[in-house]
Amino acid sequence: MRSFSSDYLRRTRRGMWEERDALADARLAETSCLLDVGCGNGEFTRILADETDGEVIGCDADLALLRQNDAADSVVRGDAYTLPFADSSFDVVACQALLVNLTEPRRAVEEFVRLASERVVCVEPDNSAVRVESTVKDEAELARRSRRRYLDGSSTDPALGEDAADVMRDAGLENVTTRRYEQELVVAPPYGEDDVASVRRKASGESLRRRRDEMEGDEETIDALREEWRAVGREAARQVGEGVYERRETVPFYVVVGEV
């Protein structure tokens, strides 16, 4: 199982769901009991809890993350393929950025169908369509090449995005609808602590190390890529010093809702 740090999830969800039109089909305000699977430290749980007066339960396989989830009414440790709840325990079962991390997404959605009496809501990114713009000349191109190696080496489908609709139909859900949401992660002056830390990670080559196991390419190729990141990181750090560094990353997410 791919693991995530609380710090990583907090950083990468920054500003997400300030605008919530894309969640309309989930009809969250109508739910009385909702399960958030793969809830992690609660970045999406917080949005769900904010949108409903009903009960929100969080479930994740990672106990350390669960312990930091203070947005759920209660949390339960469990595996997405065999969730520890009885049939039809919830009116809605939801997840965000979970299916892209599973080798058998359909099996998980079948499990969600077992638990949901009304709807299943899956919010999944298409990581093949991420766009990066940066004041550092080579950063966007390097990000594109690094992402390609990750997509090619991954054991799951990080580009699942709107194809989650097919997975949900195959799992037996009906009237499946899809809406697109674009998350924007912007680094610009005045820089926060997270911005400075992310530039430091680039300059140290650390960002690449985290995903190394799943990147396509031999040691030499990845080492060369890491060197390129260090150079980009150094230039980004120089620009931060001058107050001119700007970076915008756009991640497309798809909100897919199906009726049981």
- Output 41 or 146, the one with its CB closest to ligand SAM: 41
Task: Between 97 and 159, name the residue whose CB sits nearer to ligand SAM.
Answer: 97
Q: Is 101 in the site for ligand SAM (CB under 6 A)?
A: yes
Q: H or E segment at 202?
A: helix 193-204
How would DSSP label each residue in 50-116?
A: HH-SSEEEEEES-HHHHTT--SSSEEEE-BTTB-SS-TT-EEEEEEES-GGG-S-HHHHHHHHHHHE
From the list 33-41, 130-138, 140-148, 162-170, the region that binds ligand SAM by CB under 6 A is 33-41
Name the nearest CA neighbour of 144 among 133, 153, 154, 157.
133
Judged by CB under 6 A, which stretch of 1-9, 140-148, 152-160, 229-237 contacts ligand SAM? 1-9
Q: Residue 13: CB partners within 8 Å, gap ≥ 6?
A: 43, 44
Stretch that binds ligand SAM, among 56-64, 110-118, 142-150, 158-166 (CB under 6 A): 56-64
233 vs 147: CA distance, rounded Å: 17
Query: Quick one: which of 5, 22, 55, 61 contacts ligand SAM (CB under 6 A)?
Result: 61
Q: Which residues contact 192 (CB under 8 A, 6 or more apart)?
A: none
Footprint of ligand SAM on 3-22 (CB under 6 A): 4, 9, 13
Cβ atoms of 227 and 163 closer than 8 Å: no
Nearer to ligand SAM, 65 or 185 (CB): 65
Kindly indicate which of the ranges 40-48, 113-121, 197-205, 235-243 contains the residues binding ligand SAM, using the contact rule CB under 6 A. 40-48
**Is residue 97 within the footprint of ligand SAM (CB under 6 A)?**
yes
Closest separation in Å from C-beta 43 to ligand SAM: 4
**Is residue 96 near ligand SAM by the rule CB under 6 A?**
yes
Q: CA-to-CA distance for 49 and 199, rounded, in angstroms? A: 33
Residue with the two structure tokens 């390609």? 148
Interface positions with ligand SAM (CB under 6 A): 1, 4, 9, 13, 38-40, 43-44, 60-62, 65, 79-80, 96-98, 101-102
